[in-house]
Structure 1
Amino acid sequence: MNIYLIRHGRQNSKLCNIDVALSKEGLLQSALVGKRLASKGIEAVYSSHLIRAVETAGEANRYWNAEHIIRQELKEISFGEMEGLADEEIGARFLDFKKEQERMEKDLPYPGGECAGDVIRRAMPVFEEIAASGYKHAAVVTHGGVIRTVTSALLRMDPKYYRILGNSLENCSITEVHWDEKTRRFFVERFNDYAHLEPYPELLRASWVEAEN
């Protein structure tokens, strides 16, 4: 079976991981990824419970008419004490942490938050559930931290390196995973594919934020 991991569309706030609705750009991104995957025969769309993921799934699902299943385990990585802050304040208050994080010497949790391993442990059972579902094609609308950490697990990487998977994942990009029933293995077929957004530079993250937390 094929699982299409989709990062949620652009939300209407730049503050760190607050639960807000999509912006008008996010709604357009969601429609574009829905149209891009319209021919795949998606039978179910899973999403986290966060508003931006639920709305992305709903908008994209206009092209699929699939069952929508919400799983809290697919929520974004917890940024702990950083949540609700602007990037400038995060850069100033957590400078030492950011420097240590960049060294990738261990799977470092965000201050008061989660590490990559925490996300993998809560999210992977959902992917195993999808693999056992009998669906041929399913979409998972989730978050950048989840996509990067789960992909690192599927590639059998040490989770401390998960941040090398994409300097910045595009909103409504596609990461495709194939579950092979015979070998009982996941295969990563593509990562951060955003060809459907390229005709619209204003929809790319470079026009909105400079970096990821």
Structure 2
Amino acid sequence: MARTLLYLVRHGEQDPALGHAPDGGLSERGRWQADRLGRRLKGVPFSATHHSPLARAAETAEILADYLPGVPRHACEHAMDRTPVPSAEHRSEYPERLHSWLDGVPSEERDEDAVGLRAAVEHFGNLAAEDRHELVITHNFVIGWFVRHVLDAPTWRWMSLNQENCGLTIVQWDTERPPALVAFNDTGHL
């Protein structure tokens, strides 16, 4: 039986002076969070570290690399910050009270009908011939989408799944059963 364990981590806290700037790095607290997470993950036999190309995720990956020697890491489009928004034909799948918020999502973050997020699940959720552990440093809504998918929840439920900075979520795929949520937003290391 082959198994894939996907460790999903939200990047460390971004420097608040930079707002939500895509090129904004970590705050001092964010660097501390990443260091504590690195200590927690030390020794996990990761095949690779995939991270969002945005500075806050790349910097988190760099700090974690000190605890994961020899684990290759790279920027990955599947880990990019995305907000799934419904197309006009799927808008009714979301509660009406959420429509105005969804309408305000900036165009550069919009992932209509979660096309990019569905591709990310397909990419990371595949099984290999042998067990593997993958680390993905990404963003809140991406992790919410993975959890929603694994729990087979309604499309819009990603919106209520909030992840702390450097919180750890683990999802699992194996050949014998449907995907499973192993841990959600674990912050015991912080």
TM-score range, shorter chain: 0.7 to 0.9
TM value normalised by structure 2: 0.78
Deviations 1:137-173 (A, max 9, x none): 221111001000121112111121211223xx21000
Match of 1:32 in 2: 36
Q: Is the 8 A contact 2:125 2:173 kept in 1?
A: no
Q: Which runs of 5+ in 1 are unaligned?
A: 81-99, 198-213
Deviations 1:87-117 (A, max 9, x none): xxxxxxxxxxxxx978357x94625333562
Match of 2:133 in 1: 137
Match of 1:87 in 2: none
Match of 2:147 in 1: 151
Q: Which runs of 5+ in 2 are unaligned?
A: 86-93
Match of 2:19 in 1: 15
Shift of 1:62: 1.0
State percent identity of aligned pairs.
29
Matched, 1:103 2:106: no
- Where relative contact order (Cα < 8 A, 6+ residues apart) is larger, the structure is 2
CA RMSD of aligned residues (A): 2.9
Match of 1:56 in 2: 60
Shift of 1:120: 2.2
Q: Find the aligned partners of 1:175 and 1:140 in 2 and give their Cα distance.
A: 10
Q: Find the aligned partners of 1:42 and 1:69 in 2 and give their Cα distance.
A: 13
**Distance change in 2, residues 1:69/1:155 (3 Å):** same
Q: Find the aligned partners of 1:111 and 1:141 in 2 and give their Cα distance.
A: 22
Match of 2:168 in 1: 174
Q: Find the aligned partners of 2:28 and 2:173 in 1 and give their Cα distance.
A: 34
Match of 2:188 among 195, 198, 213: 195
State the one-letter code of the partner of 2:73.
H
